Amino acid sequence: MVGLPEHLDPADDSLPVWTERYLELAVRGVRSAEVTAKISRHLQRFAAWITDGLGHDRLSAVTPREVSAWRDHLAAAGNIGRDGTPAPMAPTTVNNHLAHVSALFTWITAHAPAGLLRHGDPTKKVAPLPLPAPQPRALAAAQIRTVKNIVDRIETFHELKGRRHRGAVARAHVHARPLRDRAIIYLLFGTGLRRAELVGLDLDQLEPAEVDRLRQAKKARLTGVRGKGRTSRTIFVGRDARHTFAFQLSQASGHDRAELERRLGHANDRYLRLYTNPPDDIAAGYIEDL
């Protein structure tokens, strides 16, 4: 039991005591002051829940059922509303609480006397709350610029580093494919292709395909791109990513449905709305204009 008293009493069965030991030995001075305060706050909430529910704070009495009940309590009434009444807590915040309690019991399991947690870690069988799928949105101009800046420097991320390679000619890892990775990113940015469509491409579909002609050409295109429902279409290389490409195409075409169907490979209203969802800053601007 590294860092703990040598003659620890096996009967020491207090959740607050073990919580304080964990904070002192594994959190304070290791995590930032802000994160430390948050972890401490979450663990105190858990200890208060156990004490209020069981009438005592014995560590050995904490079971998966108690942890699950605490999770559900947070989801239903973990916050205090503006009117002072209990309010639901966001799933991400609930899962953050669970993660901190799980880290606590992982540490206790490693350092506590044998037999204190007779049934093992009570957090292991408690699943986090499911999170809603993120809503796809077009990339904002600043996000596009950031990604392109990273992609333009991608070779350096694949270079061998360390003392042995200092001063030597830069050499990439044996399995690195920085030029391929850059081409994939720029192709996604410039065409609006879906992932499955991109991986099914062949160089024969590129016009022009010769390196010299491609460098001099003002326009390039991909022919015979296979999409959903066995559709086939021609894709012109543009400058934006898929969702951003769709949004800009919608704006430029005056929301022409036929053009959107032809370029995006979708005839379904749901998908057309999804792929033309504007960036957050533009959507916020629409609200401000009302």
- For residue 248, the model assigns a pLDDT of 58
Query: Tokens 């005839």 belong to which residue?
Result: 267
- For residue 204, the model assigns a pLDDT of 84
- For residue 134, the model assigns a pLDDT of 74
Q: For residue range 140-175, what is the model confidence (pLDDT) as tens digits?
A: 878 888 988 998 888 888 888 777 777 777 777 788
- For residue 118, the model assigns a pLDDT of 82
| Separation of alpha carbons 228 and 197, rounded Å | 9
- For residue 247, the model assigns a pLDDT of 57
CB atoms within 10 A of CB 192: 25
In 3D, which of 31, 15, 21 has the Cα closest to residue 66? 15
Amino acid present at 187: L
| Separation of alpha carbons 252 and 93, rounded Å | 40
CB atoms within 10 A of CB 5: 9
Cis peptide leading into residue 208 (ω within 30°): yes
- For residue 283, the model assigns a pLDDT of 45
Domain definitions of the chain by residue range: 15-111, 141-288
Amino acid present at 95: N
Helices (H), the chain: 15-22, 33-54, 64-77, 91-111, 141-152, 154-157, 178-191, 195-199, 211-216, 242-252, 257-264, 269-275, 280-288
Q: Flag residues of the chain having pLDDT under 50.
A: 1-5, 8, 10, 239-241, 243, 282-290
Q: For residue range 205-222, what is the model confidence (pLDDT) as tens digits?
A: 888 877 677 777 777 788
Q: What residues contact 188, with CB distance under 8 A and at least 6 apart?
A: 198, 241, 242
| Separation of alpha carbons 40 and 101, rounded Å | 10
